[in-house]
Structure 1
Amino acid sequence: MDSISPKLSVKAVTDWLAGHGLSVESRSYSGETLTVRVPAACANAILAANFTAYMHDATNTTMIRTLSYSLPAYLYDHVSFVYPTTQFDAPVRLGAALELSLRQSRPRAPSRRADSASEVPASCASSITPRCLQALYGIPTMPATSSGNSLYVSGLGGTSANPNDLQTFLEQFRPDIKNGTYTSLSVAGSSDTGIPTNEGNCDTQYTVGLATNVSVTYAIAGSMSNGVTFGDLLNTVVYLLELDEPPLVVTTSYVFDEPVDSESIQVARTLCNYYAQLGLLGTSVIFASGDNGAVGGGSNQNNGCQSPAPFVPSFPSTCPFVTSVGSTQGVNPEVAASFSSGGFSNIFSRPSYQDTAVNAFLHRQGNLNAGLFNISGRAYPDVATQGMNFNIRVGGLTYNDFNGTSASSPTFASIIDRLLAAGRSPLGFLNPLLYSNATVAFNDITAGDNRDSMCGAGFNAEIG
Structure 2
Amino acid sequence: MAARGCLLAICISRVLISSRGVFLEPDQKVSVPIGWIQVGRVSASDQILLTFALKQQNTDKLQELLEQVSDPHSLQYGKYLSLDQLSSLIQPSEETLKIVWTWLRNHGVQNCSTVQTSDFLKCFMSASTAEKLLTGSKFNRFTDGHRTLIRSLAKYEIPEEVAKHVDFVGGVHRFPSKNTVISKAWKTSRHRIAGFHLGVTPAVVRKRYNLTASDVGSYENNSQAVAQFLEQYFHQMDLTVFMQLFGRSFVHHTKVDKVIGCQRGIKAGLEASLDVEYIMSTGGNIATWVFSNGGRHESQEPFLEWMTLLSNMSAIPWVHSISYGDDEDSLSMAYMKRINIEFMKAGVRGLTLLFASGDDGAGCREVRKGVNTFDPNFPASSPYVTTVGGTSFKNPFQITAEVTDYISGGGFSNVFRMPNYQLSNQLVTGLIFVLLKDVAVKSYLKRMKSLPPASYYNVNGRAYPDVAALSDNYWIVNNLIPIPWISGTSASTPVFSGILALINDRRFQKGLPALGFVNPLLYSLQGNGTSGAFFDVTTGCHLGCLDEKTEGQGFCASPSWDPVTGWGTPNYPELLKALLLGKVDDP
Normalised by the size of structure 1, how large is the TM-score?
A: 0.85
Aligned to 2:499: 415
Query: 1:58-88 CA deviation, whole Å, 9 max, x = no partner?
Result: x986452241222123212112211222x33
Which protein shows a greater Rg?
2
Counterpart amino acid of residue 426 in structure 1: A
- Alignment of 1:326 with 2:400, yes or no, is no
SS at 1:279's partner residue?
Answer: helix
Shift of 1:322: 0.3
Shift of 1:42: 1.8
SS at 2:476's partner residue?
Answer: strand
Shift of 1:379: 0.4
Higher strand share: 2
Distance of aligned partners of 1:220 and 1:102 in 2 relative to their CA distance in 1, 3 Å threshold: farther
Aligned to 1:110: none
Q: Distance in 2 between matches of 1:243 and 1:319?
A: 23
Shift of 1:194: 4.9
Aligned to 2:456: 372
Judge conservation of contact 1:89–1:256 (CA < 8 Å) in 2. no
- Alignment of 1:268 with 2:336, yes or no, is yes
Q: Distance in 1 between matches of 2:222 and 2:131?
A: 45
Q: Distance in 2 between matches of 1:93 and 1:132?
A: 26
Q: Distance in 2 between matches of 1:308 and 1:72?
A: 38
Aligned to 2:310: 240
Aligned to 2:357: 289
Shift of 1:378: 0.3
Aligned to 1:359: 442
Counterpart amino acid of residue 40 in structure 1: A
Aligned to 2:237: 164
Aligned partner (choices 131, 152, 162) of residue 203 of structure 2: 131
Shift of 1:302: 11
Q: Distance in 2 between matches of 1:421 and 1:125?
A: 34
Q: Distance in 2 between matches of 1:192 and 1:177?
A: 29
Counterpart amino acid of residue 338 in structure 1: Y
Normalised by the size of structure 2, how large is the TM-score?
A: 0.68
- Alignment of 1:74 with 2:161, yes or no, is yes
Counterpart amino acid of residue 314 in structure 2: D
Shift of 1:358: 0.6
Alignment of 1:180-329 (within 5 A): 180-187=254-261, 192-223=264-295, 231-260=301-330, 264-296=332-364, 299-300=365-366, 307=370, 309-329=372-392
Aligned to 1:435: 523
Judge conservation of contact 1:27–1:238 (CA < 8 Å) in 2. no
Distance of aligned partners of 1:82 and 1:245 in 2 relative to their CA distance in 1, 3 Å threshold: same
Aligned to 2:77: none
Shift of 1:44: 1.5
Aligned to 1:457: 553
Counterpart amino acid of residue 378 in structure 1: R
SS at 1:68's partner residue?
Answer: coil
SS at 2:156's partner residue?
Answer: coil
Counterpart amino acid of residue 96 in structure 1: I
Judge conservation of contact 1:293–1:342 (CA < 8 Å) in 2. yes
Alignment of 1:145-156 (within 5 A): 145-156=218-229
Counterpart amino acid of residue 444 in structure 1: D
Q: Distance in 2 between matches of 1:147 and 1:349?
A: 39
Q: Distance in 1 between matches of 2:128 and 2:171?
A: 15
Distance of aligned partners of 1:63 and 1:300 in 2 relative to their CA distance in 1, 3 Å threshold: farther
Aligned to 1:118: none
Shift of 1:168: 0.5
Q: Distance in 2 between matches of 1:84 and 1:332?
A: 47
Counterpart amino acid of residue 76 in structure 1: A
Aligned partner (choices 394, 402, 410) of residue 486 of structure 2: 402
Distance of aligned partners of 1:186 and 1:125 in 2 relative to their CA distance in 1, 3 Å threshold: same
Figure out how many residues of one structure are paired with residues of the other and give that number.
430
Counterpart amino acid of residue 444 in structure 2: F
Aligned to 1:339: 407
Counterpart amino acid of residue 77 in structure 1: K
* Aligned residues: CA RMSD: 2.8
Q: Distance in 2 between matches of 1:195 and 1:321?
A: 34
Shift of 1:96: 2.2
